[in-house]
Amino acid sequence: MESQKFDRMFTIVVPKYSNAGERISTETLAEYAKAVSREFGGATVHPSVLGCWVDERTDELVCEENLLIETAVDTDKVTEAELEEKREFVRRLARKIGEDLGQYAVMAYEDVIDRLSFVEGDYKEHIPESMKEEDFFKKLID
């Protein structure tokens, strides 16, 4: 019996502010998502998550806003060597992000997932009129 090959999910946690509290440009953050998308064929960006730790000097909880760049690999479609190259790409990009943004560390992690599916759809440039939101008040409030 053939052993099951588990798919992989890679995630990089990227700070949205510098250590001095300066907002990092969306262009800079988009370049990191673009690099992941080029390497893996796409990425999901979770635009806002908190990263927290306890400041040892003050014993206070400190939280900063980050974004997650997440991507997945169907291991049936890559060799072990190619998977290791993907893993190394994630480590190199996390290191670059840390160097670019002056961070002590940037968290990157790999999850083993049971099954990955890319369910094909039917590409359309526009949705039917009946599915479009027409209520401008609702559009702005949602």
Assigned CATH topology for domain 7-117: Alpha-Beta Plaits (3.30.70)
For the chain, how many residues are written? 142
| Spatial CA neighbour of 32 closest among 112, 118, 109, 98 | 98
Q: State the Cα–Cα distance between residues 7 and 77, nearest whole angstrom.
A: 10
Q: State the Cα–Cα distance between residues 11 and 78, nearest whole angstrom.
A: 19
| Spatial CA neighbour of 78 closest among 87, 69, 90, 70 | 87
List the structure tokens of 92: 């190199």
pTM of the model: 0.84
pLDDT (tens, 9 = 90+) of the chain, 142 residues, equals 455 689 999 999 999 999 999 999 999 999 999 999 999 999 999 999 999 999 999 999 999 999 999 999 999 999 999 999 999 999 999 999 999 999 999 999 999 998 888 888 998 999 888 888 777 777 677 6
